[in-house]
Structure 1
Amino acid sequence: MDRFLNHPSDHSFSPTKHQALPTTLKEPFRTVHISNLADDFYSNHLDWHQNTLMFVCENKIKLMDFYSNRITDLKSFGSATVTCVKFGSDGKCAIVGTSNGNLHIIDMCTKKTSKFNVHRSRIGTVEPKDNVLVTGSRDRQIKCMDMRSKHISFAVEKHVQEVCGVRMNRSATLLASGGNDNKVFVMEMRNLKKEIKICAHRAAVKAIDWSKGSDWMMVSGGGTADKIIRIWNVYGITNDNNENSSHMHMKRAHGLQSTSTTDKMLVKAQSFNSQVCNVYWSSTNKILSTHGYSKNDARISNLSLRTTNVMCSHKNRVIHFAVNERLGCFVTGSADNKLCFWRMEDFEDIGMWLR
């Protein structure tokens, strides 16, 4: 295990001595006006793959070309409300969850749709990675589908309320889930009995992501009654060389993790004084977050969770969010009927075409 995991203070988790005030941006480099974006904390209505954005408007799945701003319809839904959308890992399909628990997989070339009755209630979060698709639902279940056979490979029920967020780590060996019960679970994909239960948040946890450079580093953010973003090091969940590992695994499998164990995993915690709706750990080790009550903004922070940039163009909570690291940009969506495009950093090579 490298020093990044052993000694986070040796890297960039510790605050610097001289902290500059955050840069506040009120104008995105591009704004697209659309109607009827949902003001629902549990929905995920925006995604971005290469040059194509996908969003939900009036229960229709729409696609927008980033370069031309041209918007086209992909699919219209009837009585079932669209609750989440996501591109497949390769961008060849669109994955859509609905309020009745159905999962729709749409071929981007042929527009052919395959429908699967996966859950008993709304699917609020989906996470595709290669041939694996994980879904989380209001029915409290987390399910994993093999995208090749379209069969469910496992179903687990860890949370006692709605599953708000699911994310796999970079190697798809660990799965993190956040729930409306304020809990975070981290599980082994191959052995779901090996788990960590985190009870640190005091509100719903929708915002979860993993480091792009480590299988063990994770970030989570809590809702209105919590407002805290926390960075975790979960190394040891599968480390059988640890003399205490068997005891720790047994406690974790029965949901009996002690506060001291959680404290050992906690790398950094910082209040953002606002509901955390989304969080993203970039490949350059920036923490991007979007917020609701009461700031309604987006922020870029370093690994010390010190905010360096604040983007405040929305009038409502920033529920919808997607990132395109290849372009160095991210997009935010809100019920104020705007999609706002922001630069992640001051990339000089992006050029004037972004304006």
Structure 2
Amino acid sequence: MAATSTPMEVCHDTDFPSENICERSDENCAPPNDHNSATSESDTKILSYRNKPRQQEPRQNELSVLYTCNRDGACKAKPARVVPQTAMKVLDAPGIVDDFYHHPIDWSSRNALAVSLGSSVFLFDASSGRSEKLLTADDAVTCVRWAGEGAHLSVGLANGDIQIWDGLAQRQLRNLRGHKGSLGALAWNDHVLSSGSADAEIHNHDVRAREHLVGRLCGHADLICGLDYSTDGVLASGGNDNLVCTWDRAMTCSPLQTLTEHRAAVKALSWCPWQRHLLCSGGGSADRQVCLWSTSTGRLLMSTDAESQVTDIVWGRQERELLTSHGYSRNQLSLWKYPALVKCADLEGHAARIVGLAQSPDGSLVCSASSDETLRFWRVFSPSKERHDAHEDQPHSVNKSKIVKMR
């Protein structure tokens, strides 16, 4: 399907009505929207900028200077890190489904943001600020995930199918079938795409091969709603059975570890980018725990009560921190210091559940997608030098004007 270019428009409404959020055992607070009508209104209002939120006045930290030195003069205290409390940009995203189990957003290494809205997927060029529709499927889109090189996008559907798209040429390459339930999660490891579904199975697909299904992993008893690969090829999976499993690179049928600390569905999974065998997981509204695991031993290293449903996790390499997103009951982002999991800040602004996070290629920006039908961009971390050098010819700011060609 040919893509449709969508010019950006400025919206002036930056206030969101409060919503009553109700806790449900299946982690959802509201039934899914009508997917066929989710994107029926004019595309010109989709992924359009709102006015920049008003900046809060910085608050003086009275404890920022603990002492002075009795030398030639007072020692200068190291400046305290200031975390912006408001989003730097807000995009309208009508049609985001209020579903805990969905993964509606992912940011590619080429600086393109994929966003699922009902049964459609849009691409937002974070360099130029332009958006365009990539596809409209026959069923609801439940998850999107870019391959590591940033050119190929996997799209999971409620009917169990997986579409593979060339994001540069904007054409569909393959349709992968095999699951017997709605897609819950996707993760890439080079040319292997792993998919988890409501059929409680993980399928491994070699996207280069005609017969793509090369493995089937059975370690869960319910919907698989979280998947993530470590840099050395270990797969972590989270499910609606409250389990976290890890799988070795050989993809044997039995998991390496089965971690049982959580008391609700585990959708949020993220491997530490600077330390091997360190996995962070987050539980649903009956659990609310953020957990750090040593996957080499299966030992729980640290946990904390996040006080609300955990929907996603990203790491800040430079600051040695992690950012979690939340749903019921506070709909906030929380910043935590590693390894003690001491909370540094809460970032608020969404009026409803945050259903997913995506991190810019250099690691400095985080985009949060919410069922209040907005995307919010937060400047939380310092740029990672390694990732910045790897993509230094590509801008990483939503404010820069250089255009990354998508065709």
- The interval holding the TM-score normalised by the smaller chain is 0.7 to 0.9
**Offset of residue 132 of structure 1:** 1.6
Query: Partner of 1:178 in structure 2?
Result: 238
Structure showing the higher strand proportion among its residues: 1
Distance in 2 separating the partners of 1:283 and 1:24: 15
Residues 269 and 313 of structure 2 are in contact (CA less than 8 Å); yes or no, is this contact kept in structure 1? yes
Partner residue of 1:45 out of 104, 108, 122: 104
Identity of aligned residues (%): 27
Query: Partner of 1:142 in structure 2?
Result: 202
Asked whether 1:206 is paired with 2:267, we answer yes
Partner residue of 1:334 out of 367, 370, 375: 370
Residue by residue, what CA displacement relative to the aligned partner does 1:244-285 show, whole Å, maximum 9, x if unpaired? xxxxxxxxxxxxxxxxxx5xx111111110000011233333
Residues 17-96 of structure 1 mapped to structure 2, 5 A cutoff: 25-49=84-108, 50-78=110-138, 80-96=139-155
Residue by residue, what CA displacement relative to the aligned partner does 1:210-262 show, whole Å, maximum 9, x if unpaired? 111233111111000000101011224xxxxxxxxxxxxxxxxxxxxxxxxx5
Query: Partner of 1:9 in structure 2?
Result: none
Residues 29 and 354 of structure 1 are in contact (CA less than 8 Å); yes or no, is this contact kept in structure 2? no
Distance in 1 separating the partners of 2:295 and 2:199: 27
Query: Partner of 2:178 in structure 1?
Result: 118
- Higher mean Cα deviation, 288-297 or 47-56? 47-56
**Offset of residue 340 of structure 1:** 0.2
Residues 83 and 380 of structure 2 are in contact (CA less than 8 Å); yes or no, is this contact kept in structure 1? no
SS of equivalent to 2:266: coil
Tell me the TM-score normalised to structure 1 length: 0.81
AA of the residue aligned to 1:332: S
Residues 216 and 235 of structure 1 are in contact (CA less than 8 Å); yes or no, is this contact kept in structure 2? yes
Q: 1:125 to 1:137 in 2, by over 3 A?
A: same
Partner residue of 1:131 out of 191, 196, 199: 191
AA of the residue aligned to 1:213: W
Query: Partner of 1:8 in structure 2?
Result: none
Residue by residue, what CA displacement relative to the aligned partner does 1:34-74 show, whole Å, maximum 9, x if unpaired? 21111000101111113211101242110111133211111
Tell me the TM-score normalised to structure 2 length: 0.71
Residue by residue, what CA displacement relative to the aligned partner does 1:130-185 show, whole Å, maximum 9, x if unpaired? 1121111011000111122151111012111100101111111x211110011111
Residues 170 and 211 of structure 1 are in contact (CA less than 8 Å); yes or no, is this contact kept in structure 2? no
Residues 129 and 398 of structure 2 are in contact (CA less than 8 Å); yes or no, is this contact kept in structure 1? no
Distance in 2 separating the partners of 1:157 and 1:235: 21
**Offset of residue 329 of structure 1:** 0.3
Residues 186-205 of structure 1 mapped to structure 2, 5 A cutoff: 186-190=246-250, 191-193=252-254, 195-205=256-266
In terms of Rg, which structure is larger?
Answer: 2
Q: Which runs of 5+ in 2 are unaligned?
A: 1-65, 67-79, 389-395, 402-407
